[in-house]
Structure 1
Amino acid sequence: MATVKVKLRKSSVEGKAGSIYYQLCHKQSSRQITTRMHVPSQWWDAKKGTFINEADNSGMSARYQRQIEKDLQCIRRILCEWDGAGKDYTLADVIASFHTWNEKGDTILSCLAALTDELKNDGQWGNTRNLQRAMNSFSGFLRGVDIPLNQVDERLIIEYEQWLRSRKVSRNSSSFYMRTLRSAYNKVISTRRLEQTYPFQSVYTGVERTRKRAVHEDIMVRLQKLDLTRSAPLAFSRDLFIFSYCTRGMAFVDIAYLKKENISGGMLSYVRHKTGQRLTVRIEPPIGEIIKHYEPYVRNSPYLFPIITSNDPEEAYRQYQTALGYHNRKLKKLGKLTGENLRLSSYTARHSWATVARNHNVPLSIISAGMGHTSEKTTLIYLESVENSLIDKANEGILKALCCNVSK
């Protein structure tokens, strides 16, 4: 009879999780079945071929252990049936039968949950959150009842879209769920080498343009002059909003993760979380004044602003998410304090810089380069030819009004 053992293949990259696999031996031959389970080597007891009990507090090892037991039960059932019938088989036959069983046994929600664990294990907190949100929505549509993968067809996804519409979910939100689920579904299908039936081909997965609420540069000056000495939280959100505007619409996530090491020679250099593109901004007086104001609050922190305090990546991401929600709530109050009841958000600063730049007759290519719009074909063409000094020159002109209010 063939034997099967559970083993961990360590990653060749230091610090990266290894892969769990099943080693099958039969008639002096050996084959492996690689799984989608990835765990740190310090979680694994190589001698016992199982997890170390105290290694994981997130519950991932327990979920993986249940999957391992499920797989082993399947493999042993195949072996027992074939040995009992006296069948002559090879390990290739066993592996093929195992994959066939998996095709029939896998369910969509369990696969999505496993993929969520993988993303979390890889430190992809944003993607983990997006998939979790989409999975929760889809689970609500299914009323919590898991279904086999082969039942996820075009008809079901169309019904899901109609279900979202009946609950007044916006078209862009519906599209977000569809794109996220489609990407996850395609990955599951590819990993298991199942037949692709394209169940998402008839639902909307585009992005409708929404009205961007940019504000005039006079509003930025009015915000800058607001006396907020009695409300430190409002002052902090105001300063972050102006900082974003002054740094060519820097996204809140990039502001939250800015570190002191990002500053050198009067320049602020950072990598956009969204695109991975490196951008460099000259520190104009309003920018320097805001950074200087918050130095006492981050004296013992590597970060530029008192937003993230944890060294744990997952907890740091949660702190950023919490801060973003709090920041947007404060911006709504600030919008009312301008006297025009403006609906401000963290994105308003970005749209405003682009609009003001256009009003200052800054070429579109320089605006795109300054904002790091690498996803646009036109932007990509111009990025290589635009000098950063031109972008800084444009920014200097845009911030002229604000610079006048910064104390020398």
Structure 2
Amino acid sequence: MATVKVKFRPSTVKGKAGTIYYQLCHHRKNLQITTRIHLFPEQWDAERGKVVFLSDNEGFLRTYQHQIENDISLLNRIILQLGERPEEYQLSDIVAMFRSRGAQISVLSYLERQITRLQADRKLGTARNYKRTFNSFSLFLGGRDLSFALFNEGLILEYSDYLKERKVVRNTISFYMRNLRSVYNKAVREQIIEQSFPFRNVYTGVDRTCKRAVGEDIIIRLQKLDLLFSPSLSLTRDLFVFSYCTRGMAFVDMAYLRKQNIINGMISYIRHKTGQRLTIRIEPCIKSIIKKYEKKNRDCVYVFPVLYSENPEEAFKQYQTALGYYNRKLKRLGELVGSEMPLSSYTSRHTWATMARNYNVPISVISAGMGHTSEKTTQIYLASLENSVIDRANKEILAKLNAYISK
């Protein structure tokens, strides 16, 4: 049976780090597998065949040790599998299987390939999310790539701590972790790495956010604003009110809404986020906004003058630019109507959900109306239900007890 040992090859250049390699022996023949692990002589214990952890960079050295242990474990499994076969195997067979199992496939390059594939499939939103995660994870790694053999729980915990130290909020940390987990699971399905559940001890949920809903009075004030002096503010107001009237239609869905989505007094569209088809009856307040832009946008396939290109890449760039502009204008509108809470693209959606709850609409109905795939998501939206509403409900519940005590 073949054997494998970990060896250190010092650099021939003074002051430069040496290289770790794996020496395979079988039938008196030797073969070396060179790794991307580079250490200085004082960082390697040749007698024990292990990395020496120095206090100044212990974390990174431990990561190297994890990779070595994972590589050796993989090589030994390959040797056992080949030994069970009736035919004789060669050292080159071990190396071929080792490389095919993905021990040398790097995480960042794999993530880049996924981004490219998503862009080719026109899944531009997910590609953008992966790109944001790629940028963050790359900064954590100091620009260095690493093999999937290093992608373990210890590394993910270090990345989580790195984000916390930089005051990154929990929902953003969860965003990065969920994206990385998705890429990792894809690598597992492709048998690049064995599943070791490295994300089990990091946060991948969604925190309930602070209050994002405004009262009906703010919606009415917005509707009454005279904005003839600013067409951009007028369009922003109309989109915000349209979103509220259409059960919190997301900005991306309003931007991509086509005239062909309006049929027989109904709006029928597919949510970009979930792929779920939603149908909304056109109420008078919705109809008036649509009619306002019929002439202005007569030569365009879209309902609103937000996007102009039908090319997917170009349209997505226009959407990203428009979203930032929309949020900036919403802040100005919030100031004009005296809203205590800054308005954002999420506010209209949260407001519709909160108003529906205040009108005693069942959560199941609210969830279906908003196109949520789970009522848990709706609960997050309603977590910031006005304290005054809850206080009034509590007062009614305790009315008899209060009356007794006040006697």
1:238 alignment partner AA: R
Structure 2: which 5+ residue stretches go unaligned?
A: 1-86, 379-407
Larger radius of gyration: 2
Contact 1:239 1:290 (C-alpha < 8 Å) held by counterparts: yes
- Checking the alignment, whether the CA contact within 8 Å between 2:364 and 2:375 is kept in structure 1 is no
Report Cα offsets for 1:223-252 as digits up to 9, x if no partner.
001111111111110000000001111111
> Aligned with 1:324: secondary structure?
helix
Cα offset, 1:325, TM superposition: 1.1
- How far is the alpha carbon of 1:263 from its aligned partner? 0.8
Match of 1:327 in 2: 326
Q: Which residue matches 1:101?
A: 99
Report the residue type matching 2:139 in the other structure: G
Match of 1:136 in 2: 135
Q: How does 1:189-268 map to 2 (within 5 A)?
A: 189-268=188-267
Paired residues of 2:156 and 2:199 also in contact (CA < 8 A): yes
**1:63 alignment counterpart:** none
SS in 2 for 1:211: coil
State the match for 2:180 in structure 1: 181
The superposition leaves residues 69-115 of structure 1 with CA deviations (integer Å, 9 ceiling, x where unpaired) of xxxxxxxxxxxxxxxxxxx999xx98985452242321111111111
Structure 1 residues 291 and 373: alpha-carbon distance in aligned structure 2, compared to 1, 3 A threshold: same
Asked if the contact 1:214–1:352 (Cα under 8 Å) also holds between the matched residues in 2, the reply is yes
Deviation at 1:375, TM superposition (A): 2.2
Q: How far off its partner does 1:378 sit?
A: 11
> Which range is displaced more, 186-195 or 249-258?
186-195
CA contact (8 A) 1:328 1:344 kept: yes
**Cα distance in structure 2, aligned partners of 1:362 and 1:122:** 39
Amino acid at match of 1:266: G
Which residue of structure 2 aligns with residue 163 of structure 1?
A: 162
Secondary structure at 2:109 match in 1: helix
**Where does structure 1 lack aligned partners over 5 or more consecutive residues?**
1-87, 380-408
Name the CA distance, whole Å, in 1 between partners of 2:284 and 2:168. Answer: 44
Question: Aligned equivalents of 2:371 and 2:193: distance in 1?
Answer: 38
1:316 & 1:256 partners in 2: Cα distance? 9
Distance 1:377 1:339 in 2: 32
Tell me the equivalent position of 1:312: 311
1:296 counterpart SS class = coil
1:168-214: CA deviations, max 9, x gaps? 10011001101100110121232134322222222111111112321
SS of residue matched to 2:207: coil
Query: Does 314-323 or 231-240 show the bigger shift?
Result: 314-323
Asked if the contact 1:336/1:342 (under 8 Å) is kept, the reply is: no
TM-score (norm 2): 0.68
| Residue 123 (structure 1) shift | 1.1
How many residue pairs end up in the alignment?
291
- State TM-score, norm by structure 1: 0.67
RMSD (CA atoms): 2.2
Contact 2:149–2:193 (Cα < 8 Å) also in 1 = no
How far 1:220 moved relative to its partner? 0.6
| 1:7-406 alignment, distance < 5 Å | 98-102=96-100, 103-376=102-375
Provide the rounded CA distance (Å) in 2 between the counterparts of 1:144 and 1:279: 43
Taking a change above 3 Å as real, the CA distance of residues 96 and 274 of structure 1, as seen in their structure-2 partners, is farther
CA distance in 1, matches of 2:131, 2:235: 31
Residues 290-324 of structure 1, C-alpha deviations (whole Å, 9 max, x = no match): 11111122111111011111121111112111111
Contact 1:332 1:342 in 2 (8 A): no
Deviations 1:144-170 (A, max 9, x none): 011111012111111111110111100
In structure 1, C-alpha distance between the alignment counterparts of 2:274 and 2:377, rounded to whole Å: 16
Paired-residue identity, %:
58
CA–CA distance in structure 1, aligned partners of residues 229 and 93 of structure 2: 69
Runs ≥4 residues deviating over 4 A: 93-97
How far apart, in 2, do the equivalents of 1:234 and 1:275 lie?
29
